[in-house]
Structure 1
Amino acid sequence: MSTATAEFLSVVLLVAVLACAVLRPRGIPEIVVAGPAAIVLIVTGAISLRHAIDETTRLAPVVGFLAAILVLAQLCNAEGLFHAAGTLMARTCAGSPQRLLVLVFGTAAATTAVLSLDATVVLLTPVVFATAARLGARAKPHVYASTHLANSASLLFPVSNLTNLLAFTTAGITFVHFTALMALPWFVAIGVEYLVFRYFFAADLAAGADKTPVVTQREVPVFTLTVLGLTLVGFVLTSFVGIEPVWTASVGAAVLACRALAQRRITPAGIVRSAGIPFLLFVLALGIVVRAVVDNGLADAVGHLLPDGSSLSALLALAAVAAVLANLINNLPAVLVLLPLVAGGGVGQVLAVLIGVNIGPNLTYAGSLATLLWRRVLRDHDAEPRIGEFTKLGLLTVPACLVLAVVGLWLSLQVFGA
């Protein structure tokens, strides 16, 4: 196969895979298109078998971690953690939508950081809907906060996002170093989001609640919170000795699984379903498809747009390119394309790309898989978001978050080193 033909076939199949992921025609799983696309590219020689195996091997620990964290999040849900959070928010906000927004921001940021962005959009968003309904408050500001913070609040830990794990592996730094460098960008991004939300949804927040909530005291799942805390400590400690995060997450999930099974809160089949095996296979197949596009010319085309060095202007340019690419082809393919190109440029370049692919997706529906999942949750609640409103909010938040988060990264690099 000629290079031009291989490039054309790779691009066409990548577009088809992403279109399936975005549109989900008839609800078919993403792997139904992505799997055959990867096979076609291997059989036709658009990507060599060796490169396909290399890409699968590179992604395997990341996909394993994703499975473990999805199980861990679902077990936390089975233990009542998210319902307890909703009860606490309803009681603490005292009927004030403004206070509720603050609590949703804090809960969503913490959930995203520790349990990853998928837990925020899939498990927390329904709780936010229920909490707003209990108060009689308008749900829109609070459910929009779920998706925005699922993306922009996923900067803090290597385990907060699949893209973070890929960047973490590429950067070759410890868990603590990663967190130290990304803490300021994380705080800045959340702060900008909150200020814009207070302005953008001022009318909804000023409307007030129309009922006094009846809040039943719900027991705080202390055991679950303890396991989560120890798991997070485990991520930190094991990073110093080179143990992959998947093993720590697996231990935490196993502990909660044993308890949930013993108490019959979940079934073995439920645990297997919560791992999202079709989605995991989709990630592996997508990696192969993206690698084929990269091998056949995309790397060279994008490489010409990337600046050298770790100056503030270079980091801003990298984040901007990453954000644009994430909105064109989704953030996971974007990070798979960009990380090999900046791997030799230092930690600053890798993390600037990460800021772009994590914050940038708040601009369009197709920017991240988490946003696509969030749209499905809203459809289930007959609250389909309007594309114009979503985009307008993104235009107000994304540029400011990107610029200030990158400035925060640049300052952190001066303090903590690359």
Structure 2
Amino acid sequence: MISEILIVLIFLLTFFLIMVRPWRFNETTGALLGALLMLVFLQPHHILEALGFATPFATPQVTTWNVVIILIELMVISTFLDDYGFFEWCAVKAMQMAKGDAWKLFTYTYVVTCLITAFTSNDIAILTLTPIILKFCRRANLNSKPFMYAFFFAANIASMFLLIGNLTNIMIADAFHLGYVDFAAYMFLPTMAALVVNYVIFRYMFRNSITARYQPLEHVNSKDLIKSMPMVAVGLVVLAFVLIGCGFASAIAIPLSAITTIGMIAIYLAERKPMLRTKRISWRVVVFVISLFIVVKGLEVSGVNALAGSAILSIVGQNPIVATFFMSMMSAFLCNVVNNIPMTAMMVPVSLGIAHTQDMALAMAYSLVIGSNLGANITITGALAGILWIECARVEKWTTGITEFIKTGLTVTPLVILASAAVLALEITLF
């Protein structure tokens, strides 16, 4: 009993360190310290299971090693495109296409963010587009806040569409054995519903914050932003290969990391700068993710997951419609208590234990996708994406108040979640 209490206390300490970051701790240091403390209470087989390896005692429901490899290799592909100017070209091209109309620019920023996020990931979009958006707002003398909020919220919504759009998507799909194509088919309409509702609310919310006109960047030749057209072409071909190849990988039951590995090798061979490209990987994020898996494993060992499963089952029973709305909303808000990555790692085994029918499995899996992605739009600390966003923005001398963000998030996001969950519930009912 004492060890279980200590495990829960370590869990709470870890997330205090991640959220509050006292004594100049960053989120990775806090997660790593929590993982090291948790190791005291874990057996060697628990650690192997936390890393995604089967043991004689258990077969993990999330293959952590596969998730981490995909994360690293998507970073390689995305930073490659970023370093050769592709994402900046997209942003400046959108600014020029708006031709001085600030509301058109707002819309184009939203659409470009959705496209880049959908085919890379929300974390990559946030890392690459945050400085670009702040720079073009300064150039055009525009209020940055509407553009920064719209871009950030859009990135977290659009990441629901594809399996590779968010680390949590990969974890859920891995555990529930969701096919790459099936995932996209189920999440396309809920994602579109969420994007439309969010956009309409923001258009109204920021109606007095955006000036009608700005000075267009006619003097900037967008082609000059591309540092090497052949390299950008290689990056886009590799990205297309990964997007298509992941569909085939799911169909023939091979790890998605096999496809992303081929893409990464192609990038290394084309660029021939392995050390430079490897340095561009955010190893801090990798350590953060692995540490969180270990911390959450401790929580599972303590029995907290079983208690949570019993409580949820008593509420949703085996009703997929109730489960869709309840899990979407609950998991979104839970992200802001324990962050979306550990929330997902904790809720995956709980959800699997509740899902006794095919419809319930679909409801639990895809509502968890909705919650783990949209939960990032309630508070800045609800997901790794928010932490990355605000840190990148501070480098560019821009920030936003936590209270102001929460007020916006609580106004907009519950409505967006309800819209997305309603479409998902309709899909499960009809198909």
**More off after superposition, 105-114 vs 246-255:** 246-255
**More off after superposition, 378-387 vs 126-135:** 126-135
Cα drift, residue 297 of structure 1:
3.3
Are 1:201 and 2:206 matched, yes or no? yes
1:208-219 pair list within 5 angstroms: 208-210=213-215, 213-218=218-223
Which residue is equivalent to 2:324? 315
Cα drift, residue 177 of structure 1:
0.7
Report the Cα distance in structure 1 between the residues aligned to 2:71 and 2:286, rounded to whole angstroms. Answer: 8
User: Is contact 1:78–1:260 with CA below 8 Å preserved after alignment?
Assistant: no
Matched letter for residue 50 of structure 1: H
Cα distance 1:230–1:332, how it changes in 2: closer, same or farther (>3 A)?
Answer: same
Q: 1:335 pairs with 344, 367, 378, which one?
A: 344
Report the Cα distance in structure 2 between the residues aligned to 1:325 and 1:390, rounded to whole angstroms. Answer: 17
Give deviations 1:168-197, integer Å, cap 9, x for gaps.
Answer: 012212111111111111101111111111
Cα drift, residue 29 of structure 1:
5.1
Cα RMSD over matched residues?
A: 2.0
Report the Cα distance in structure 1 between the residues aligned to 2:191 and 2:343, rounded to whole angstroms. Answer: 20
Are 1:52 and 2:52 matched, yes or no? no
Which residue is equivalent to 2:251? 240
Report the Cα distance in structure 2 between the residues aligned to 1:272 and 1:224, rounded to whole angstroms. Answer: 16
User: Is contact 1:68–1:249 with CA below 8 Å preserved after alignment?
Assistant: yes
Cα distance 1:13–1:407, how it changes in 2: closer, same or farther (>3 A)?
Answer: same
Cα drift, residue 31 of structure 1:
4.0
Cα drift, residue 342 of structure 1:
1.1
User: Is contact 2:378–2:409 with CA below 8 Å preserved after alignment?
Assistant: yes
Matched letter for residue 158 of structure 1: L
Report the Cα distance in structure 2 between the residues aligned to 1:208 and 1:23, rounded to whole angstroms. Answer: 40
User: Is contact 1:378–1:385 with CA below 8 Å preserved after alignment?
Assistant: no
Matched letter for residue 335 of structure 1: T
Give deviations 1:183-235, integer Å, cap 9, x for gaps.
Answer: 11110111111111111111122453256643313157444323222221111
Which residue is equivalent to 2:8? 11
Q: 2:166 pairs with 161, 168, 176, which one?
A: 161
User: Is contact 1:196–1:396 with CA below 8 Å preserved after alignment?
Assistant: no
Are 1:96 and 2:101 matched, yes or no? yes
Which residue is equivalent to 2:401? 386
Cα drift, residue 164 of structure 1:
0.0
Cα drift, residue 68 of structure 1:
0.5
Cα distance 1:110–1:212, how it changes in 2: closer, same or farther (>3 A)?
Answer: closer
User: Is contact 2:157–2:374 with CA below 8 Å preserved after alignment?
Assistant: yes
Cα drift, residue 161 of structure 1:
0.4
Cα drift, residue 360 of structure 1:
1.8
Q: What is the TM-score with the length of structure 2 in the denominator?
A: 0.88
Report the Cα distance in structure 2 between the residues aligned to 1:327 and 1:188, rounded to whole angstroms. Answer: 23
Alignment identity in percent?
25
Matched letter for residue 118 of structure 2: A
Cα distance 1:33–1:351, how it changes in 2: closer, same or farther (>3 A)?
Answer: same
**More off after superposition, 127-136 vs 23-32:** 23-32
User: Is contact 2:99–2:216 with CA below 8 Å preserved after alignment?
Assistant: no
Which residue is equivalent to 2:378? 363
User: Is contact 1:90–1:135 with CA below 8 Å preserved after alignment?
Assistant: no
Runs of 4 or more, structure 1, over 6 Å off, are none
Give deviations 1:122-180, integer Å, cap 9, x for gaps.
Answer: 11111112222332322221111222122222111110000000110122121111111
Report the Cα distance in structure 2 between the residues aligned to 1:25 and 1:214, rounded to whole angstroms. Answer: 46
Report the Cα distance in structure 2 between the residues aligned to 1:158 and 1:145, rounded to whole angstroms. Answer: 22
1:274-313 pair list within 5 angstroms: 274-306=280-312, 307-313=316-322
Cα drift, residue 25 of structure 1:
5.0
**More off after superposition, 217-226 vs 347-356:** 217-226
Other structure's SS at 2:210 match: helix
Cα distance 1:17–1:223, how it changes in 2: closer, same or farther (>3 A)?
Answer: same
Other structure's SS at 1:204 match: coil
Cα drift, residue 118 of structure 1:
1.0
Which residue is equivalent to 1:264? none
Which residue is equivalent to 1:409? 424
Report the Cα distance in structure 1 between the residues aligned to 2:85 and 2:203, rounded to whole angstroms. Answer: 30
Matched letter for residue 413 of structure 2: V
Other structure's SS at 2:7 match: helix
In the alignment of these two chains, the number of paired residues is: 406
Give deviations 1:297-324, integer Å, cap 9, x for gaps.
Answer: 3213322331232432221111122112
Matched letter for residue 380 of structure 1: V
Cα drift, residue 289 of structure 1:
0.8
Are 1:249 and 2:260 matched, yes or no? yes
Are 1:354 and 2:369 matched, yes or no? yes
